[in-house]
Structure 1
């Protein structure tokens, strides 16, 4: 099992807070402390090779891995 110590936990919290601020700004909120607003990149001409691409749900994937480990240990 993995253990999250205080240092990495603070880093995760900092990154989550920073990302939430970016999301608020992208959704039309105010820019942080008079700084520039984030720029969201949008592909104008999508690559035709990627039309069949389906993103994977990492939460679901990790849940499946976890259940597979539990099942194999039983």
Structure 2
């Protein structure tokens, strides 16, 4: 699921999304191949909506067992 939608807004002030948020990270997890396919569709739709509604072109990165980390630049 989309962690920001389900957890961040109500669980922790440090990670909640607000009007002042400038660099959010949206995490969608999957375990099975079917979940990964649905996750790919979902994250691309979130990216499209962010561009359409907020004028933001998001950057997509995927973590896997073979690619376990990413660099987050400011």
Relative to the length of structure 2, the TM-score reads: 0.33
CA radius of gyration, larger in: 1
Relative to the length of structure 1, the TM-score reads: 0.33
